[in-house]
Amino acid sequence: MNNIQYAFINEFGHYGFDFDQPETSTHFIIVSILVKDSDREFLEQEVEKINRKHLSKKEIDDSLRMEILQNLKDLPFKVYAYVIDKRKIREDSGVTYEKTFIKFFNRKIFDDLYRTFDTLDLVADEQGSKEFTQEFIAYVKQKCIPDLFNYSTFGFNSSESDILLELAEFIAETIAKGYDAKHHSHQYPSFYRLLKNKIITVNLWPHDYKHYLYDYHFEKTDSETDQIIIKQAVNLAYQYIEKHRKSEEEDERVRIDLLKFLLFNLKENPDDYVYTEEILDNLNAIRVNKIKQHYFRSNIVSKLRDQGLLIASSNKGYKLPVCLNDLYDFVNLSSLTIHPMIQRVAKCRDQILLATNREIDILEKAEYDYLKRVIEMEKIAPMNNE
C-alpha cells in the first residue's frame, strides 16, 4: 500500500433540467483530485495554508481565483474530471429524471475510473448532503468487495481529508467557469493555463463532435473541408474509445487515455500540438510502469493509425487534426523519414545488382514487391517529367 493513490472526489452543479430556474446549472461536473500517499501530507499542509489565506472567504472573484491557482500550480496533485452538458441530453433518453441521471452517471464514472486505475483509494464526504456523491459511495461499496483486512484496492477505505475535498470542490468550480453557461468567466483561458499541467483528462459527455465544430470552426473558418476533417477525427476517436473501453490489455488502456488527452487538448487548444514529453508526463502520472518514447510511438500512436484514426504530428508533437494543413504536417513529417529510407534501400539494391551482374536482387521476395514497385516508379518519374 506504499504507492497507493488517493482520489478526493467532489462535484459542481445541480441535477435538474429546468434551465429557466436560476439555481439549475447547464453542466454537472465531477472532479477527482489525485495524489500519491507519499505526497498527501505535504499537499494537505500547503492547501491548508492557502485555505487560511484565501479559500475560507465566502466570495472568490476572478482575480482571487487566479491568485489561488498560482499558489496551487506547483503542488503535487493531478485532476481527473467529468463535464456533463445537460443541455445535450435528449429528453427521451430517460436520463433527465434526477434519480436516473444519478444512477446512470454513477455507473459510467465507476466503470471509467475502474478501467483507468488498477488501484485507487476513493475519498468523498460520506456524511454530506450531496445526493450524487452519497449514491456513488453506495454504488462503489456494492461493486468492490474488501479483503480479509477490510481493504479494497479500488474503493472507499474510510480515508478522510476535508481540506483536499475542498480543493476538489474549488477545482470543479474553476472548470465550471469554462463550461457552464451560468457561471462562465472570460478569465477561464487564464485559469486553464495555470491548471493545464495538472489535468490528466476532462471527460466530456455526451460524446458529440459538434462541441468542437462550434468552438473551433464556426468562430474561425467556414471551410467545409476543415469541418469534415474535425468531425471525422473526433468521431473516430470516440468510436475507438467506446469499442475498447472494457479491454483489460494495458496498451489499449494507454491508447484510450491518449485519445482522451488529445480530445481535451482539441477542446482547449485546437491549433496547438502537444510535445511528446508532455503527453508522456500525462500518461505516466497514473501508471506505475512508465511508458518510454519509442514504445509510445511504435505501440501506441502507430497502432491507432493502423486502425485508421487521424492523428496529426509535426516536430512540435501530436494533435487531432482540425484542418487540411494539420494533415499536410503529418504527410510532410512522414516523407522526411520514408523517402530517404527508400532511397537507401534502392542504393543498397543497386550495389548488389552491380556486384553480382544482376544475379541477386534483394527485393526479389514476394513480400518486398510493393517496395520494388515504388523504387521502379521513382526511376521512371524523372523520365516522365523531362
Describe the crossing of helices 250-268 and 276-284 by its angle, rounded to 10 degrees. 120
Domain map of the chain by residue range?
5-206, 225-319, 329-385
State the pLDDT confidence band at 112, using cuts at 50, 70 and 90: confident
Residue 233 pLDDT greater than 90, yes or no: yes
State the pLDDT confidence band at 157, using cuts at 50, 70 and 90: confident
Residue 69: per-residue pLDDT:
95
Residue 265: how many other CB atoms lie within 10 Å: 23
State the pLDDT confidence band at 216, using cuts at 50, 70 and 90: low
Q: Which set of grid coordinates corresponds to residue 164?
A: 483536499
Angle at 166 between CA 161 and CA 168, to 5 degrees: 100
Residue 246: per-residue pLDDT:
85
Place of cell 470552426: 217
Give all strands (DSSP E) within the chain, no chain letters.
5-12, 27-36, 78-85, 120-123, 154-156, 199-205, 312-314, 317-319
Residue 149: per-residue pLDDT:
46
Place of cell 520514408: 338
- Average pLDDT estimate for 328-341: 86
Q: Which of 1-10, 240-249, 262-271, 334-343 has the lowest mean pLDDT?
A: 1-10
Higher pLDDT, 30 or 4: 30
Angle at 243 between CA 197 and CA 310, to 5 degrees: 60
- Average pLDDT estimate for 7-18: 90
Residue 227: per-residue pLDDT:
83
Task: List the one residue out of 160, 163, 125, 126 whose CA is nearest residue 43.
Answer: 163
State the pLDDT confidence band at 218, using cuts at 50, 70 and 90: very low
Residue 146: per-residue pLDDT:
63
Nearest-angstrom CA–CA distance, 13 and 376? 64
State the pLDDT confidence band at 381, using cuts at 50, 70 and 90: low
Residue 102: how many other CB atoms lie within 10 Å: 20
Q: Which amino acid is at 67?
A: E
Element (H, E) at 114: helix 98-116
Residue 280: per-residue pLDDT:
95
Task: List the one residue out of 58, 33, 32 whose CA is nearest residue 44.
Answer: 33
Exposed/middle/buried for 339, CB within 10 Å: 0-12, 13-18, 19+? exposed
Residue 1: per-residue pLDDT:
45
pLDDT tens for residues 91-105? 656 777 888 888 989
Residue 217, SS3 per DSSP: helix
Residue 58: per-residue pLDDT:
67
Residue 129: per-residue pLDDT:
76
- Average pLDDT estimate for 152-178: 89
CB 36 within 8 A of CB 5: yes
State the pLDDT confidence band at 12, using cuts at 50, 70 and 90: very high
Residue 234 pLDDT greater than 70, yes or no: yes
Residue 98: per-residue pLDDT:
82
Q: Which set of grid coordinates corresponds to residue 283?
A: 500518461
Q: Which of 108-122, 149-163, 191-205 has the lowest mean pLDDT?
A: 149-163
Residue 95, SS3 per DSSP: coil
Q: What is the pTM of this model?
A: 0.78
CB 261 within 8 A of CB 278: no
Answer CATH for 5-206 from 3.40.50.300, 2.30.42.10, 2.60.40.10, 3.30.420.10 = 3.30.420.10
